Amino acid sequence: MASKDSFGARADLEVGGTTYEIFRVGAVEGSARLPFTHKVLLENLLRTEDGANVTADQIRSLGSWDPSAEPSEEIQFSPARVIMQDFTGVPCVVDLATMREAMKDLGGDPAKINPLAPAELVIDHSVIADHFASPEAVGLNVELEYERNRERYQFLRWGQTAFDEFKVVPPSTGIVHQVNIEALARVVMVRGGQAYPDTCVGTDSHTTMVNGLGVLGWGVGGIEAEAAMLGQPVSMLIPRVVGFKLSGQAPEGTTATDLVLTITEMLRKHGVVGKFVEFYGEGVSAVPLANRATIGNMSPEYGSTVAIFPIDDETLRYLELTGRTAEQVALVEAYTKAQGLWHDAANEPVYSEYLELDLGTVVPSLAGPKRPQDRVILSEAKTRFAEALPAYTSEPARTATFTIDGEEVTIGHGAVTIAAITSCTNTSNPSVMVGAALLAKKAVEKGLTRKPWVKTTLAPGSKVVTDYYDKAGLTPYLEKMGFDLVGYGCTTCIGNSGPLPEEVSAAVNAEDLAVSAVLSGNRNFEGRINPDIKMNYLASPPLVVAYAIAGTMDIDIINEPLGTDQDGDPVFLRDIWPSPAEVQSTVDQCIDAEMFTSRYADVFAGDAKWQSLPTPTGDTFAWDAESTYVRKPPYFDGMPASPAPVVDFDGARVLAKLGDSVTTDHISPAGNIKAGTPAATYLTEHGVERKDFNSYGSRRGNHEVMIRGTFANIRLRNQLLDGVEGGYTRDFTQADAPQTFIYDAAQSYAAAGIPLVILAGKEYGSGSSRDWAAKGTALLGVKVVIAESYERIHRSNLIGMGVLPLQFPAGETADSLGLDGTETYSVTGITALNEGRTPTTVAVQAAKADGSVVAFDAVVRIDTPGEADYYRNGGILQYVLRSLVA
């Protein structure tokens, strides 16, 4: 639809003999002082102004934005494209396929269910590091990946043919965020003769990695991504922007990881949840693009919506290096300069809040043992490990002795049992990847090797990494250290670490040791990396190699030797740490644009294995009733053409009472499917052998598996039970309210017609943008969540699934109100939505067994009119479907 162009912003831009239609940001009064992000949003509104969803008043509000005000003005943002990974993307395609059938049932045209903007899915989350430390590891892991995921892959191939504007990057290509910055990101889009900023939403919270390229994008739940694909704008309040000024130069010996862990700690401390972070100042030019991408990637770890760098010469250099065409690079430069999107350190925009970092103050760091923001200065790592240990064991001297690879070894608490170079955070960054390989080379030359109990894995984010390793002659040294290639994918960071060697696992569990993982990832939450491992540390790739040599966290890695050389002399970390000059020289000599252009020349085609998969055809998908991977979900079963009225809730019971910082990893099914759990029982009943259970992530297209794994994390602590960890609760439908699986209790409540409530603390739903955290919650029968505060994406996703998010009154908690979760709850006042009003608060009453009642007014966290529409319709997909039918 053509823009109404109330501000006369439409203009022509000629670049290299081609003329593009653009919408000039400068046409709006006040735009020159705006932050980079808000100029991008302003262009978006100018181009999509229709007088209904996007109005001239909204455009004026953004132009006259008050940086000091609390967000209150709603705008409708239309992302240029959607990016997905396969764990979160498969349910999106499942839902689109289901919507086509529902559209048909409601008398509409199924072809209307089609992505209206480019949607690209990268298969990167399915490879598991079962095999490691051998040249055959990658081939064996890929074979297993195809065996386990054949149904899903065939389904995605169907989607690629059935839906326009939907493309799939096949397995063994790379990690979604790295493929995004290296190949898919346009920086400036061209469609229909128009040039405009590349913007995106993605079904992974680390979509923000593309912020390093100056692309405005962030993670959303799969639910919101589906709506965006179907042309629904993202409803948002104009956010506050934190200006983060950079100055100085990073000291020798520090890495991008050290910088990002420092920034993560600073921004967590400052408080940036729901805000945009924008980097500016003289120091920006000193930050290489790969480091910018690393910083942007970690945005979810400090809680901001985005963490963006403006566009400058460094952006253009990266586009040239990664093989973008000369025409595209010229367009990016011309367009961004014309629109005031080019970085000018001399002209500072206005910001809501300000932070500053002298890059020269950064020191080598880790983060752990369970949160990314818990930075540990490397020189203090041994001390901080000792301080953390009592939380994991009451017997600090415990050890285990066993034989592995013909050698008798003894390990204790803190033994490093996984050392993984993994995840998009660092594997896109040549400086740290080359640094790790050079450290491995120096270690091998000194006669050092990994400890035999350490599972070592290398999972780069792109095939370009192995190309430059090979060209530099560094691959053999990594392999000698046990860092053989295990696959191109996320692996360890998302729980796909694969099992520990049997001897190690048995010893760890027999003695209940608190052992560690060291990984170059972005997530180290409890229970995420491996079920045998309690303590997890984030580190740069060179430090991952160093800790594989040390074999323990109980070492002063700066001052104690890692081992001895051939002559029996001690070897210290400083002896094998590569200099910045060595790293840069290798990068300069061994990485060129041809590597990128050849690897990405036909990125959607895939190898022979992918191309030989039989592919279903047709506009609607032929569901296989026997499939345990892809099943038609029940979201639209019996859905009327018009929504039923919103109702209050009465007689509700608490399914779980949870504490602070409960993440979507605690809620959403992830990692291995443990024997004896409801999900395992379901698979067994459907003829699946235990060895073929695969992971929850791989079975995200089957709602039956996913609801059985919701709230089933082995580290979840439901306060309805005393000291019990895992997916358990009390079933109040039975007289003595026995302990049972959360899924089984939910089935009992459903049979009795009892709605369910979740009570929670601060930062409920922080972590990855996991749609199943909301989908599973809704399908278990939860109608209301009452928390002290929410993570942005999860709160939005709850509404998107028809679950009401409420907040305790300011300063109050479940405990301060005397709630223990055994009460019966009623919620009244939400029916005001039926009159077109969104109530500020609703009345909650919690009746105790002794007849007493706790009453309070809970804050309604439906924050925008768009969210109110979604909730009235029972969810975002129902809203979109009804809109398309109408």
**Per-residue pLDDT reduced to its tens digit, 193-238:** 999 999 999 988 899 999 999 999 999 888 888 889 988 888 888 9
**For the domain with range 369-599, which CATH number is right: 3.90.1150.10, 3.30.499.10, 3.40.50.620, 3.30.1540.10?**
3.30.499.10
Locate 775 and state its tokens.
């989908």
pLDDT (tens digit per residue) in 807-824: 999 999 999 999 999 999
> Rounded to an integer, what distance in angstroms lies between the CA atom of residue 179 and that of residue 185?
8
- What is the structure's pLDDT at 292? 96
pLDDT of 781 above 90? yes
pLDDT of 102 reads 93
Buried b or exposed e, range 157-179, using 16+ CB within 10 angstroms: bbbbebbeebbbbbbbbbbbbbb
Tokens of 731: 């079933």
pLDDT digits (tens, 9 = 90+) for 585-624: 999 999 999 999 999 999 999 888 999 999 888 888 989 8
**Confidence at residue 28, expressed as pLDDT on a 0 to 100 scale:** 98
Report yes or no: 704 and 682 within 8 Å, Cβ to Cβ. yes
pLDDT tens digits for range 677-687: 999 999 999 99
- Kindly tell me if the per-residue pLDDT of 693 is higher than 70: yes
| pLDDT, mean of residues 515-538 | 92
Q: Where in the chain is the domain with CATH 3.30.499.10?
A: 81-361, 369-599
Compute how many other C-beta atoms are within 10 angstroms of the C-beta atom of residue 373. Answer: 16
Question: Which of 722, 726, 720 is CA-nearest to residue 671?
Answer: 726
The pLDDT tens digits for 331-385 are 999 999 999 999 999 999 999 999 999 999 999 999 999 998 899 999 999 999 9
- Name the packing angle between helices 222-229 and 876-885 (round to 10°): 20
Average pLDDT (761-770) is: 83
Distance CA 728, CA 453 (A): 33
Collapsing DSSP to helix, strand or coil, 32 comes out as helix
How do residues 326-341 score in pLDDT, each as one tens digit? 999 999 999 999 999 9
Quick count: other Cβ atoms within 10 Å of Cβ 651? Answer: 12
Report the alpha-carbon distance of residue 99 to residue 203 in Å, rounded.
Answer: 19
Location of each CATH 3.20.19.10 domain in the chain = 649-668+710-885
Decide if 519 contacts 529 (C-beta within 8 A): yes
pLDDT band for position 769 (50/70/90)? low
DSSP codes, 744-772? HHHHHHHHTT--EEEE--TTBTBSS--HH
Task: Say yes or no to pLDDT of 767 above 80.
Answer: no
Mean pLDDT of 292-311: 94
pLDDT higher than threshold 90 for residue 698: no
Architecture of domain 649-668+710-885: Alpha-Beta Barrel (3.20)
* Bridging pattern class, strands 74-77 and 234-237: antiparallel
- What is the distance in angstroms between the CA of the first residue and the CA of the last residue of the chain? 18
Alpha-carbon gap, residue 851 to 788, rounded angstroms: 26
The pLDDT of residue 865: 83
In this prediction the pTM is 0.86
| CATH number of the 81-361 domain | 3.30.499.10
* Residue 70 pLDDT > 70: yes
